[in-house]
């Protein structure tokens, strides 16, 4: 495979990487998006390789979520293709139940990712018409590998399934490095047990910020939640039915703007006027805002009651930190022991995918849903819809269908011209 070796693939002062031909697509990411895509390809008989930088599937769920987490939407809106949740699961499965579901899904479709392989770069070679995906072994794989730590996978198709939540978003806040207390991202928070009796500043008021604040309260901590911008808060259920399920039903018959208006009216009736507690509603409706900017409305599971009672204090934006205090934009100063950054996640695609036509600088496809799943030159994307697990499943189905047809066409051409293709595209190794 020396013809594919470029200067970008080799460290002149280090060992040469190992080259592997993949007789099918390479899928980057073994979260729900990657698993759903792999399952679709498995059913169509398309070989593939799944690359995952962590040592497990769904590493976000396994390693970077808090203990009390449950799915915020009913299970029927979170299932992957071809596999409903077990009937005995509750309407809102727990974190552990969802992980068990994903592991069972991987076993059922015989998906065996290459764990502990971090993608350094992925480039399309115009001359050969192939992708070069360069990886490096990390963690236990790096220590155990007897050969080169770097591998370059050569493939015809590349599926980007790392999703919208690959890396932490950590804001730059004046003086934060001077703060003497503990600072962590919500992805590293497990429970409020160790914060009992402490004053904790939670930065962010999305679903994670609200739920972390609630969890801290339940462990007798004293949380203050920073609410810098407007936020939609909706009841998780209306008359015993999921608010999301109601919205999906209404959108079959009504325009989005009207559904948004109805949701806001219901929220006011059920939750009351939340603006008097420092939670200002956006002027744009919750569903439209989700589609435009990816900002998910908060589904209340009890946090508002703690805010009303004063157990959770809502504060405005941060001006600066000092050693033991935080100064707010309104001039108020708070003594705090710890800071939890519930500031969300972002795509990491720009850091490794050497392409700027299909993906924008923020790591999301330039074309909005439902058209952001297919690029040029065999490039695909799954899990960037801003529509959660159901959106990822829609993408995965489309990608598997398209790749199934492409694979069939490629196989037919190869059989018709077997002698010519054998010299150019010899299979060095395959992973299924």
pLDDT at position 398 over 70: yes
Q: If we measure between CA atoms, which residue out of 160, 204, 123 comes closest to residue 373?
A: 160
Asked whether residue 15 carries a pLDDT value surpassing 80, the answer given is no
pLDDT at 431 over 80: no
pLDDT in tens, 317-352: 999 999 999 999 999 999 999 999 999 999 999 999
171 falls in which pLDDT band (50, 70, 90)? Answer: very high
Distance, C-alpha 195 to centroid of its chain: 27
pLDDT tier at 112 (50, 70, 90 boundaries)?
very high
| Domain 169-345 part of CATH 3.50.50.60 | yes
Q: C-alpha distances in angstroms, 431 versus 23, 48, 96, 310, 418?
A: 8, 7, 29, 56, 22
Please check the confidence at residue 11 and state whether its pLDDT lies above 80: no
Neighbouring CB atoms inside 10 A of 410's CB total: 18
Q: What is the rounded distance in angstroms from the CA atom of residue 38 to the CA atom of residue 30?
A: 9
CATH top-level class for 2-166+347-424? alpha beta
Secondary element (H or E) of residue 259: helix 256-271
Average pLDDT over residues 260-279: 94
Q: State residue 312's pLDDT score.
A: 97
Q: What is the pLDDT of residue 146?
A: 63
Strand pairing report for 333-335 and 338-341: unpaired
Beta strand 167-168 with 345-346: parallel, antiparallel or unpaired?
Answer: antiparallel
User: What's the rounded mean pLDDT across residues 176-200?
Assistant: 96
Mean pLDDT throughout 96-123? 97
> Is residue 221 scored above 80 in pLDDT?
yes
Range with the largest mean pLDDT of 19-33, 147-161, 233-247:
19-33
Per the structure block, which two tokens stand in for 429?
């190794």
Assign 155 a pLDDT band (cuts: 50, 70, 90).
very high
Q: Is there a common fold for 2-166+347-424 and 169-345?
A: yes
How many other C-beta atoms are found inside a 10 Å radius of the C-beta of residue 184?
Answer: 12
Task: Show me where the domains of the chain are located.
Answer: 2-166+347-424, 169-345
Tokens 């070069």, located at residue: 132
How much is the pLDDT for 408?
Answer: 87
Q: Under the phi-then-psi rule, with left for phi > 0, alpha for psi from -120 to 50, and beta for the rest, what region is 26? A: beta
pLDDT at 6 over 50: no
**pLDDT of 317:** 92
How many Cα atoms within 13 Å fall on the side-chain side of residue 64? 19
Residue 356: pLDDT band with limits 50, 70, 90: confident
Average pLDDT, the chain: 90
pLDDT band (50, 70, 90) for residue 143: low
49-63, 108-122, 145-159, 370-384: segment of lowest average pLDDT: 145-159
* Count of residues in the chain: 432
The more confidently predicted of residues 7 and 282 is 282
């Amino acid at each position: 495979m020396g013809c594919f070796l470029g200067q970008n693939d080799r460290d002149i002062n280090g060992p040469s990487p190992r080259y592997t031909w993949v007789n099918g697509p390479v899928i980057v990411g073994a979260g729900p998006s990657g698993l759903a895509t792999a399952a679709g390809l498995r059913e169509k008989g398309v070989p593939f390789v799944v690359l995952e930088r962590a040592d497990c599937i769904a590493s976000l769920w396994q390693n970077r979520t808090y203990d009390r987490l449950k799915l915020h939407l009913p299970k029927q809106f979170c299932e992957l293709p071809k596999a409903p949740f077990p009937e005995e699961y509750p309407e809102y499965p727990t974190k552990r139940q969802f992980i068990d579901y994903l592991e069972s899904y991987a076993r059922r479709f015989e998906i065996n990712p290459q764990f502990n392989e971090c993608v350094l770069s992925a480039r399309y070679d115009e001359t050969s018409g192939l992708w070069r995906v360069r990886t490096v072994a990390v963690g236990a794989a790096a220590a155990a590998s007897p050969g080169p730590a770097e591998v370059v996978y050569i493939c015809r198709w590349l599926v980007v399934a790392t999703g919208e939540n690959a890396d932490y978003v950590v804001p730059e806040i004046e003086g934060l490095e001077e703060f003497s207390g503990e600072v962590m991202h919500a992805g590293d928070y497990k429970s409020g047990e160790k914060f009992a009796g402490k004053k904790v500043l939670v930065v962010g008021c999305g679903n994670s910020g609200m739920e972390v604040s609630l969890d801290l309260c339940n462990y007798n901590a004293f949380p203050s939640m920073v609410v810098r911008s407007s936020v939609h808060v909706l009841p998780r259920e209306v008359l015993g039915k999921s608010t999301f399920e109601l919205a999906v039903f209404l959108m079959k018959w009504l325009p989005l703007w009207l559904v948004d208006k109805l949701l806001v009216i219901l929220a006011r009736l059920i939750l009351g006027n939340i603006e008097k507690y420092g939670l200002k509603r956006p002027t744009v409706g919750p569903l439209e805002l989700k589609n435009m900017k990816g900002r998910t409305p908060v589904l209340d599971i009890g946090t508002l009651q703690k805010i009303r009672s004063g157990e959770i204090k809502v504060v405005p934006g941060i001006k600066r930190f000092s050693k033991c205090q935080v100064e707010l934009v309104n001039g108020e100063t708070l003594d705090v022991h710890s800071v939890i950054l519930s500031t969300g996640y972002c795509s990491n695609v720009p850091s490794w995918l050497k392409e700027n036509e299909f993906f924008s600088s923020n790591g999301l496809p330039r074309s909005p849903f439902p058209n952001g799943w297919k690029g040029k030159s065999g490039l695909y994307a799954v899990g960037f819809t801003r529509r959660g697990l159901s959106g990822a499943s829609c993408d995965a189905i489309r990608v598997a269908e398209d790749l199934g047809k492409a694979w069939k066409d490629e196989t037919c051409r190869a059989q018709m011209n077997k002698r010519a293709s054998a010299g150019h595209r010899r299979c060095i190794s395959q992973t299924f």
